[in-house]
């Protein structure tokens, strides 16, 4: 069976359904399949094991550490709110590509981006940090034929402090904006954070403005960038709200339950929110930028946990007469404690925050960064370290620009010539100036500059 959006399954469940329940519509069948898969994932997250129809909870099936069930038990769990893996190496992204039905960013696509832009590919592309896509070739076809596209990414402002992991999509989006010379919209989902977190509306909006200042400090061009708070913009743009309503009309409650795992006790705000995250994918949501044009394709760089929103969006788009958005997916940025743990704004030691001092950065890396080194210096010299699980090395793949230097570090650490303390020292020397430079730029972003970025207005671009 052809890979399907929004979900692909290793079993052709819908074929079985179709055979026995031919009086059901395809939409109803797809919705039931999605719901079944979602329930199985929820069961697994709660019970720590796969659901087996002939073996209810409390009566566990006999298991062995070998065979297919053992592999199944280590499946990763990824949705917009939860990322779980039992592997110290982190998520298995090749499996995720198959499960989500996206396409791998291969050498051929990277070479094509280089030809189209005339620029060396960003290190995030060269190193597989952005690893998966939907319809990127279509965007490049349009670009080469002088047809326009625009960029859309976002941020859920759940606290005032952002960490280095939050910068990943923005660093890459800035590069895309520069090399393709296209407009960009950045959605601050303060409404989402109000619905999901214990925040007041004023707090959520305040975090949106503060986070916007950190995003502006990444160096975006004010003439080509519109940053908007959902709480603010929804009331200003009839085009945006009309698209929200169109999307809401074409997605059933069963579908969002299947895609996002919502339950009957979730608030109606949560259930309707996915339509709000979907709406910026369509150009006429921004009449001040694109007037009433509906034909401009959108490209969305984001972490792969956001993909469920856009699988839903791509499913709806043709039914409401719009082009499907294209996507570029990034890997997850690991917590200091290791790739199988999650960074948390409430745990100051789980990541390097953009407000950290040089001393705090040094202390956090030395004390908390999970090491792939051996227990003793003698063992390490003899057997070498493991770069696949070493967080300091992982962080260097994100932030060290020099490919040759990174490869030399990998060889030296793997062979045992470089010790963990020396590797951590290299990372500290990369992170301290990076954070200090960000803080200096952030200081220059006044309330007035933030307000200008967040005011609906025309942007400059040379679309035909």
- Are 198 and 93 members of one domain? yes
Are 163 and 361 in contact, with CB atoms under 8 Å apart?
A: no
> Would residue 16 count as lying in a domain?
no
* Dihedral Cα 312, 313, 317, 318, nearest 10 deg: -30
- Are 303 and 374 members of one domain? no
Q: Of how many residues is the chain composed?
A: 464
- pLDDT tens-digit profile, the chain (464 residues): 444 444 433 333 344 344 444 445 666 666 666 666 766 666 655 555 666 654 544 433 333 333 433 333 457 777 766 676 777 777 888 888 888 899 999 999 999 999 999 999 999 999 999 999 999 999 999 999 988 899 999 999 988 889 999 999 999 999 999 999 999 999 999 999 999 999 999 999 999 999 999 999 999 999 999 999 999 999 898 899 999 999 999 999 999 999 999 999 999 999 999 999 999 999 999 999 998 899 999 999 999 999 999 999 999 999 999 999 999 999 989 999 987 766 666 678 889 999 999 999 999 999 999 999 999 999 999 999 999 999 999 999 999 999 999 999 999 999 999 999 999 999 999 999 999 999 999 999 999 999 999 999 999 887 65
Q: In DSSP terms, which residues pair with 299 in a beta bridge?
A: 151, 326
**430: CATH:** 1.10.240.10
**Exposed/middle/buried for residue 72 (C-beta within 10 Å: 0-12, 13-18, 19+):** exposed
395: number of Cβ within 10 Å: 24
- Are 374 and 309 members of one domain? no
Q: In DSSP terms, which residues pair with 154 in a beta bridge?
A: 187
Pairing of strands 77-78, 326-330: unpaired
> Would residue 371 count as lying in a domain?
yes
> Would residue 40 count as lying in a domain?
no
> Would residue 170 count as lying in a domain?
yes
Give CA 311 to chain center in angstroms: 13
> Would residue 382 count as lying in a domain?
yes
> Would residue 461 count as lying in a domain?
no
Are 310 and 292 in contact, with CB atoms under 8 Å apart?
A: no
Please choose, from the candidates 320, 238, 170, the residue with its C-alpha nearest in 3D space to the C-alpha of residue 312.
320
- Are 294 and 415 members of one domain? no
Q: Provide the H-helix boundaries in 91-163.
A: 93-100, 107-117, 123-126, 136-144
Are 77 and 40 in contact, with CB atoms under 8 Å apart?
A: no
Please choose, from the candidates 8, 75, 10, 4, the residue with its C-alpha nearest in 3D space to the C-alpha of residue 41.
75
Burial 156-170 (b: 16+ CB within 10 A, else e): bbbbebbbbbbbbbb
pLDDT at 65: 37
- Are 185 and 137 members of one domain? yes
- Are 328 and 254 members of one domain? yes
pLDDT at 48: 57
Nearest-angstrom CA–CA distance, 278 and 311: 10
- With tokens 């004390």, the residue in question is 367
- Are 329 and 392 members of one domain? no
- Are 179 and 127 members of one domain? yes
Burial 400-422 (b: 16+ CB within 10 A, else e): beeeeebeebbebbbebebbbee
> Would residue 10 count as lying in a domain?
no
- Are 252 and 175 members of one domain? yes
Query: What pTM was estimated for this model as a whole?
Result: 0.82
Tokens, residue 347? 């745990």
User: Does residue 6 have a cis bond before it (omega within 30 degrees)?
Assistant: yes
Residue 192: domain span? 77-336
Q: How many CA atoms lie within 13 A of 29 on its CB side?
A: 15
**325: CATH:** 3.40.50.620
Pairing of strands 77-78, 83-84: antiparallel
Nearest-angstrom CA–CA distance, 374 and 383: 8
pLDDT at 169: 96
- Are 296 and 416 members of one domain? no
Tokens, residue 50? 């796969």
- With tokens 């031919």, the residue in question is 22
> Would residue 17 count as lying in a domain?
no
Q: 48: alpha, beta or left, given left = phi > 0 and alpha = psi -120 to 50?
A: left
Number of domains composing the chain: 2
pLDDT at 341: 67
SS3 at position 211: helix
- Are 148 and 293 members of one domain? yes
The helix or strand, by DSSP H or E, that contains position 415, with its residue range, turns out to be helix 403-415
Give CA 428 to chain center in angstroms: 25
Nearest-angstrom CA–CA distance, 278 and 280: 6
- Are 369 and 331 members of one domain? no
pLDDT at 51: 63
Tokens, residue 210? 């503060």
Please choose, from the candidates 110, 179, 173, the residue with its C-alpha nearest in 3D space to the C-alpha of residue 143.
179
Q: In DSSP terms, which residues pair with 103 in a beta bridge?
A: 133
Are 170 and 333 in contact, with CB atoms under 8 Å apart?
A: no
Please choose, from the candidates 57, 100, 87, 46, the residue with its C-alpha nearest in 3D space to the C-alpha of residue 312.
100
| DSSP conformational letter for 52 | B
Which of 305, 336, 367 is the last residue before a domain boundary?
336
């Amino acid at each position: 069976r052809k890979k399907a959006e929004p979900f692909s399954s290793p079993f052709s469940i819908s074929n079985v359904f179709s055979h026995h329940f031919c009086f059901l519509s395809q939409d109803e069948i797809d919705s039931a399949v999605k719901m079944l898969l979602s329930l199985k994932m929820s069961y697994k997250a709660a019970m720590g094991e796969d659901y087996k129809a002939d073996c209810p909870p409390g009566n566990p099936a006999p298991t062995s550490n070998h065979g297919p069930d053992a592999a199944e038990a280590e499946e990763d769990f990824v949705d917009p709110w939860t990322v779980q893996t039992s592997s110290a190496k982190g998520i298995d992204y090749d499996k995720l590509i198959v499960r989500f039905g996206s396409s791998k960013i291969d050498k051929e696509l990277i070479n094509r981006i280089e030809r189209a832009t005339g620029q060396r590919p960003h290190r995030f592309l060269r190193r597989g940090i952005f690893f998966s896509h939907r319809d990127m070739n279509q965007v490049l076809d349009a670009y080469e034929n002088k047809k326009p596209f625009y960029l859309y990414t976002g941020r859920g402002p759940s606290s005032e402090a952002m960490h280095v992991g939050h910068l990943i999509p923005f660093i890459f989006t800035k590069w895309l904006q520069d090399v393709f010379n296209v407009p960009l919209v950045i959605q601050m989902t303060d409404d989402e954070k109000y619905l999901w977190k214990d925040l007041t509306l004023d707090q959520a909006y305040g975090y949106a403005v503060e986070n916007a200042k950190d995003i502006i400090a990444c160096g975006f061009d004010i003439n080509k960038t519109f940053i908007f708070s959902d709480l603010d913009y929804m009331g200003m743009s009839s085009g945006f709200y009309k698209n929200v309503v169109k999307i809401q009309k074409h997605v059933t409650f069963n579908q969002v339950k299947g895609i996002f795992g919502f339950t009957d006790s979730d608030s109606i705000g949560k259930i309707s929110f996915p339509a709000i995250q979907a709406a910026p994918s369509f150009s006429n949501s921004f009449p001040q930028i694109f007037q009433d044009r509906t034909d401009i394709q959108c490209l969305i760089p984001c972490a792969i946990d956001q993909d469920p929103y856009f699988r839903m969006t791509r499913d709806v788009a043709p039914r409401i007469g719009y082009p499907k958005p294209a996507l570029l997916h990034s890997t997850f940025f690991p917590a200091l404690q290791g790739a199988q743990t999650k960074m948390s704004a409430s745990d100051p030691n789980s990541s390097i925050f953009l407000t950290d001092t040089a001393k705090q950065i040094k202390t956090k890396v030395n004390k908390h960064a999970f090491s792939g080194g051996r227990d003793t210096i003698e063992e390490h010299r003899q057997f070498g370290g493991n770069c696949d699980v070493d967080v300091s090395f992982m962080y260097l793949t994100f932030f060290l620009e020099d490919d040759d230097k990174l490869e030399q570090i990998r060889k030296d650490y793997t062979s045992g010539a470089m010790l963990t303390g020396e590797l951590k020292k290299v990372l500290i020397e990369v992170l301290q100036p990076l954070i200090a430079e960000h803080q200096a730029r952030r200081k220059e972003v006044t309330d007035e500059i933030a307000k200008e970025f967040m005011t609906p207005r025309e942007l400059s671009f040379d679309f035909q």
